[in-house]
Chain A
Amino acid sequence: LAKTTQPISMDSYEGQEVNITCSHNNIATNDYITWYQQFPSQGPRFIIQGYKTKVTNEVASLFIPADRKSSTLSLPRVSLSDTAVYYCLGAQGEIKAAGNKLTFGGGTRVLVKP
């Protein structure tokens, strides 16, 4: 599984765009990148996944350059409720593979200020 490195914390203000970059230099050919969000006292919640280029959903965008050694999660126009810990993870192998496991690192603590 790809070892990921991301900033420990980031501060932002309401209405701004937040970009969190994750490094995964040893990502394997069949690894996907996934991002999860965790609020205090709750379980993590899936945000987005991608393999390369750009993926967008109703919550966020994920940019993965051609070399796939890094990825950037973009949260548009954050609000106070986006204050959370964001985890970048490598997900190995085929989606249907048995035992597909996620390795959580320390995450990035994002604080959105008024």
Chain B
Amino acid sequence: DAGITQSPRYKITETGRQVTLMCHQTWSHSYMFWYRQDLGHGLRLIYYSAAADITDKGEVPDGYVVSRSKTENFPLTLESATRSQTSVYFCASRDGQGSYEQYFGPGTRLTVT
């Protein structure tokens, strides 16, 4: 499928478990981003990547790990999930050329019990 996809769409996990959220885009965009959105709030940037093997921290990186071995994939790992990481996670990408437009995925709703 063309575009940007996230998996799983819904996930329930227990405190202390490791969980990985997947993000895949088919446009070969250079930049990719992970955001979290908590109920009633705007989005906060967790990590971003300017290219394969180049990643950097955003506003709220603690407790998260990212990697980008291929341009099209940008997985987000919660090393030891906590209840405060219950949120909706959005992945986004942009090509970095003509505009600031970011293309967002459908989101993953994560619940940590």
Chain A residues at the B interface, C-beta cutoff of 8 Å: 32, 34, 41-46, 49, 87, 91, 95-107
Contacts and interface: CB of A to CB of B under 8 A. Distances in A.
Contacts of A91: 100
Given A46-B103, A49-B99, A104-B43, 18 more contacts: A41-B107, A42-B104, A44-B43, A46-B102, A87-B42, A95-B96, A95-B97, A95-B98, A95-B100, A96-B96, A96-B97, A100-B96, A102-B102, A103-B59, A104-B35, A104-B42, A106-B41, A106-B42
Given A43-B104, A46-B102, A104 B44 contact: yes
A100 B43 contact: no
Contacts of B99: 46, 49, 95
Nearest to B94: A100
Interface of A is mostly: loop
Interface string B35-67: 100000111110010100010101100000000
Given A101-B45, A104-B42, A104-B43, A34 B104 contact: no
Nearest to B90: A43
B106 interface: yes
Interface in B84-113: 90, 92, 94, 96-107
Contacts of B101: 34, 46, 49
Nearest to B91: A43
Nearest to B43: A104
A100 B41 CA distance: 21
Interface residue tally on B, bucketed by range: 20 to 34
25 contacts: A32-B100, A41-B107, A42-B104, A42-B107, A43-B90, A43-B92, A43-B104, A44-B104, A45-B104, A46-B99, A46-B100, A46-B103, A49-B101, A91-B100, A95-B96, A98-B31, A98-B50, A98-B54, A99-B56, A100-B94, A101-B33, A102-B45, A104-B43, A105-B42, A106-B42
A28 B6 CA distance: 34
Contacts of B54: 98
